[in-house]
Amino acid sequence: SDSHHTVGTISYPDEQVYANLYLGSATSSVSGGAVGTAATQLGDVLVKDSEVSSVSAKNLIVVGGSCINSVAASLLGGSACSADFTTKTSVGTGQFLIQSIASSYSTGKVALVVAGYEAADTANAEKYLTTQVVDTTVGKKYIGTTATTATLTTTSA
């Protein structure tokens, strides 16, 4: 009810976002400064399965099923399409897989397989991975049906 108080409105989107918000008097200011070390932008980290040797010493996120991605095939025990993919992974029509496996490319590294039964299912897996909390510890396996629904089916010992 005081006329000298102003009102500020903060709106935000439905998707998760992070912001730094600084409030102060009209005469205050904020200036940038270096604290610690600066982050380095990764740039384009897309690597085709045929180029895996260039990143094989790193932790990997492998997108696509074993039918179309040779790295996924290597990690999941061979190339498998349709019903064979279901037999190997327990992932059927309308489902996706997010599975953390000890990398066969580098000791001590993790490969996270993100794959769907069909392309649309892989897209749901990608969305799930980027919007939900996923435990990427080796041995964890999620099977899901939508961008927001998945069940942890296997845990590491």
Q: Is 120 helix (H, G, I), strand (E, B) or coil?
A: helix
Per-residue pLDDT of the chain (157 residues; tens, 9 = 90+): 566 666 666 666 666 666 665 666 667 665 655 555 555 666 667 888 888 988 889 999 999 999 999 999 999 999 999 999 999 999 999 999 999 999 999 999 999 999 999 999 999 999 999 999 999 999 999 999 998 888 998 765 5
- Whether 59 and 111 have beta carbons less than 8 Å apart is answered as yes
CA atoms within 13 A on the CB side of 89: 37
How high is the pLDDT of residue 73? 95
- Whether 103 and 60 have beta carbons less than 8 Å apart is answered as yes
Q: Is 63 helix (H, G, I), strand (E, B) or coil?
A: strand
How high is the pLDDT of residue 154? 76
Length of the chain: 157
How high is the pLDDT of residue 116? 95
